[in-house]
A = this chain, B = another copy of it.
Amino acid sequence: MLTQAPAALNLRRLSPVDFLERSASIFRERVAVVDGAQRRTYPELLDRVYRLTRVLKSLGVEEGDRVAFLAKNESPLLEAHYAVPLAGAVLCALNIRLVANEIEYIVGHCGAGVVFYDAEFAPLLAGVSPQVKRVRIGGELAPGDLGDYEALLGAASNAPLENPVGDEDTTISINYTSGTTGLPKGVMYTHRGAYLNALAEVFHANLRPESAYLWTLPMFHCNGWCYPWAVTAAGATHVCLPKVDPAKIFELIENEGVTHMCGAPTVLIAIANYSGVRPFKKPLQVITAGAPPSPTTIGQIESLGATITHVYGLTETYGPVTACVWQSQWNGLTPQERARLKARQGVGLITLGARDVRVVRTAEDGSLTDVPRDAATQGEIVMRGNNVMKGYYRDPEATARAFAGGYFHSGDVAVWHPDGYIEIQDRAKDVIISGGENISTVQVEMAILEHPDVLECAVVAKPDPKWGEVPKAFVVLKEGRELSAEDLIAHCRTRLPGFKVPKAIEFTDLPKTSTGKIQKFVLREREWSGQEKRVN
């Protein structure tokens, strides 16, 4: 007797919710989550996910509805990555570093009917419509709150539920771009895309059942590069970290046997320059992205006993879409040479086809042509495939623009090396053209960062009557260090051709986005105010 068409048997839809159900059925004693003093096994995590799913349903959440979370890297946001899709709904994890009017815009744009929020961030909801239901995480209930997260979970049933999603192309989450310019756009991820990206992360980070993953990367950032699903798929342990604090990071790495963490180079710089810095007792895999890590940072972190893997991606690509896959023939190179190879963005992940990530030039007719693999010719990185978003939520025009020519356009400028590895030269807007020669601001920044007194820096174009544009460097020194502009320029002269040496240096703080990226456009605006154009 057939109760289901045979074809359906071998075409089960892909959904990352399956990873938790599988791990809960297999890893019955393994600690799934360490969250402060709380330690929960995989069956206990699934129990809470069933409860949260029922809470969502009791709040009126239906299939396709958006559910917003404004929370730290703690259990509730991890649970949301399973319960919201299990309710058939769409997760909108909000960036806790935004300001109130940005939160107002995003909650309005995604149309969430419920927002779960950490008590600490209550002020950020100031502009959100009172029509949006509120559930409080921690602290005393405030007027307008429908309930407390733990109390609601405690009262809900933990009976198993079936994943209602039948079509794997169903949207699982919407992640709003941090938007250095213009309004934030809602990037839609699918069940299929999240599932495949999670498997790719498992491979590239080499997550194993015995791994422990420290949550240095925000879960609200590209759904934590799909690690809420990847770590669970491997049956590894999630170690929560509500706030990036080097002392706490070292404590958790040592006490919880952490084997993996992700983070932007700024996180690595904070770790390397922490006053209590000490070697890791266990090998640590560190996956970094957001900006190429400098050879200096790589050297510092790896000397503590870690291995750095550099990956690259955007919100539109579920986080990482390329990895600087290590080649055994590089093992014998000098630390400096190895660091330089490692600072490249690399190659498409294991789940990508050979033509799914390219460096191209767009012709007048919109067609895309590969740049030569000469490590010199610049082009734009474009990508397609299951690691690329479904589109921008409620913005078909922006989606069509971003997908022109059949690929997603990153806006990042790169060269292609003869060995197939991609190396970003700049954000499209950051290229400096000086006397007809292209200058990679990244290259100039790398040179400056090699100076032992420099903590961070950013290089932008500055208008120049003779050369059109020249590089100007904004530099932050390490605590207690002193350095003159002249000495730093002399340092650069030993490392860069003359035209790439900064013509001006300013010692100052750097403006950053809420996700920690340096806002070069702010610096550029400052240099170019009063000018008609932004190129010269």
Contact = CB atoms under 8 A, between A and B. Distances in A.
A10 B190 contact: yes
Contacts of A14: 386
Contact of A24 (B29, B327, B354): B354
Contacts of A461: none
Contacts of A327: 27, 29-30, 209
Interface string A338-376: 000000000110111111100000000111000000000
A241 to B, nearest CB: 23
B325 A21 contact: no
B1 A366 contact: yes
Nearest to A351: B199
A486 interface: no
Contact of A386 (B10, B206, B210, B356): B10
A63 to B, nearest CB: 20
A21 B399 contact: no
Interface in A1-27: 1-4, 6-12, 14, 18-19, 21-22, 24-27
A408 B13 CA distance: 17
A495 interface: no
B2 A386 contact: no
A22 B400 contact: no
Nearest to A21: B354
Contact of A405 (B3, B27, B356): B3
A405 B3 CA distance: 5
Given A328-B210, A400-B2, A354 B11 contact: no
A203 B200 CA distance: 10
Interface residues of A, number: 71
A208 interface: yes
A47 interface: no
Contact of A25 (B8, B210, B347, B384): B347
Interface in A180-229: 190, 192-193, 199, 202-203, 206, 208-210
Given A21-B353, A233-B350, A420-B25, A12 B328 contact: no
Given A18-B354, A327-B27, A353-B22, A9 B407 contact: yes
Given A6-B400, A347-B25, A206 B209 contact: no
A255 interface: no
Interface stretch (A48-56, A388-396, A469-477): A388-396
Given A203-B203, A420-B26, A3 B353 contact: no
A329 interface: yes
B385 A353 contact: no
A169 interface: yes
A24 B419 CA distance: 10
Contact of A403 (B9, B18, B400): B9
Nearest to A348: B22
A243 interface: no
B354 A22 contact: yes
A406 interface: yes
Interface string A313-340: 0000000000001111100000000000
Contacts of A365: 1
A432 to B, nearest CB: 30
A28 interface: yes
A126 interface: no
B206 A399 contact: no
A9 B403 CA distance: 8
Contacts of A379: none
Nearest to A385: B12
B388 A419 contact: no
Nearest 8 CB-CB pairs, A to B?
Answer: A1-B366, A4-B406, A21-B354, A12-B385, A18-B353, A25-B354, A22-B354, A26-B347
23 contacts: A1-B404, A2-B403, A3-B366, A4-B403, A9-B384, A9-B406, A10-B386, A10-B391, A12-B353, A12-B356, A12-B385, A14-B386, A18-B352, A18-B353, A18-B354, A22-B354, A25-B347, A28-B420, A29-B327, A30-B328, A199-B203, A202-B350, A203-B203
Interface of A: 1-4, 6-12, 14, 18-19, 21-22, 24-30, 169, 190, 192-193, 199, 202-203, 206, 208-210, 233-235, 325-329, 347-348, 350-356, 365-367, 384-386, 388-391, 399-400, 403-408, 419-420
